[in-house]
Amino acid sequence: MKTPDACASLADIRLGIDTLDAEIVALLGRRLDYVLAAARFKTDEASIPAPERVAAMMPDRRRWAEQAGLDPDFVAGLFDILIPWFIQRQIIHWRQQYGQPQPTDGGAA
């Protein structure tokens, strides 16, 4: 992949963007692996959301955004979308591994 300044065409630019987007998706998958592994250390389902952890991690994400030349509010907004989704995946995983399995028929019993 060429650097942005070395790109000689729109096709080069699009290839770079597509390559980076694939890396972002792969990194989200790796993050999910860690989130699911964390379930091993949760004593019960109620301990999964950990709002104190979420609050503690946001200043770092904002700082990292600034260091990368990004708008910290934009990055915080992304994490405001990502974090609840990852928490829900961990809850589902925890229930399957350690609690009650989730119904597969939409919840009807």
Question: Do 97 and 39 touch, CB atoms closer than 8 A?
Answer: yes
Residues annotated within the binding site for substrate are 14, 31, 42, 90
- Residue ranges of the annotated binding site are 14, 31, 42, 90
Alpha-carbon distance 109 to 106, whole Å?
Answer: 9
Residue 86 · residue 53 · CB < 8 Å: no
Give the residue among 92, 70, 93, 90 at the shortest CA–CA distance from 82. Answer: 90
Question: Which tokens go with 17?
Answer: 């963007």
User: Token pair for residue 35?
Assistant: 């989130």
Q: Tally the residues of the chain.
A: 109
Structure tokens at 40: 């091993």
